[in-house]
């Protein structure tokens, strides 16, 4: 294992590889795998506190660690619910399934849109976190499908723009390029790079604010 104080001249690219290994191999919340950058998730809770969403839509739930973490943030705020959408929820443990703020919808994100929309009231503030297949086509389709749910001041967070923009992993083109295309065609959103204030992020250009 490398230690920070002995590697202060390490290139950022090497640091990202170390963090990626840790995120993939052992990152957990309440003992449940949660494949998230902790720096980004800290920003998520800042956004959630500021926006105060009534509904958080998490597209791509894996084992449910981040889904539960989002629900716990809402518990502390005494408001809101999480709608988790994934093509497979077999790995989701009972502690996640039983949480009263969490609703799981199993299926393709875009094909499940109407089911998700039916859980949202007209005046609800919605925040969307996209973490599904990361292909260019799917990410762009998700952006085009779900953006209508987001009101002014809230966010559409697109994860893993780091694919080939920091780490040589994942689809190419991927989320980063999908975001650029979406922003070119939809002027209701802007890329809020102020949310990348820790410098290291797995979501470059991925914090989209409704304006």
pLDDT digits (tens, 9 = 90+) for 192-207: 999 999 999 999 999 9
**Residues in the chain with pLDDT < 70?**
none
CATH number at residue 93: 3.40.50.150
Full domain range(s) for residue 189: 4-210
Q: How many domains does the chain have?
A: 1
pTM above 0.85, yes or no: yes
Write the DSSP assignment of the chain as a string of letters. Answer: ---GGG-TT--HHHHHHHHHHHHHHH-EETTEE----HHHHHHHHHHHHHH--SEEEEE--TTSHHHHHHHHHHHHHT--EEEEEES--TT--HHHHT-TTEEEEES-TTTTHHHHHTTS-TT--EEEEE-S---HHHHHHHHHHHGGGPPTT-EEEE--TTBTTTBS-S-SS-HHHHHHHHHHH-TTEEE-GGGGTTS--S-TT-EEEE-
């Amino acid at each position: 294992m490398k230690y920070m104080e002995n590697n202060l001249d390490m290139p950022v690219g090497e640091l990202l590889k170390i963090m990626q290994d840790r995120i993939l191999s052992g990152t957990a919340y309440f003992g449940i795998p949660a494949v998230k950058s902790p720096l980004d998730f800290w920003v998520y809770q800042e956004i959630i506190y500021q926006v105060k969403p009534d509904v958080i839509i998490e597209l791509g739930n894996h084992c449910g660690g981040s889904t539960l973490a989002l629900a716990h943030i809402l518990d502390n705020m005494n408001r809101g619910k999480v709608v988790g959408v994934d093509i497979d929820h077999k790995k989701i443990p009972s502690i996640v399934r039983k949480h009263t703020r969490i609703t799981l919808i199993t299926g393709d994100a875009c094909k499940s849109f109407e089911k998700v929309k039916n859980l949202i009231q007209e005046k609800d503030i919605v925040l969307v976190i996209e973490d599904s297949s990361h292909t260019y086509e799917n990410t762009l389709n998700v952006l085009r499908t779900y953006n209508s749910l987001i009101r002014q001041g809230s966010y559409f967070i697109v994860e893993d723009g780091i694919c080939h923009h920091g780490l040589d992993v994942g689809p190419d083109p991927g989320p980063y390029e999908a975001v650029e295309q979406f922003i070119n065609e939809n002027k209701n959103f802007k890329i809020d790079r102020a949310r990348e204030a820790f410098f290291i992020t797995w979501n470059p250009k991925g914090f989209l604010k409704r304006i």
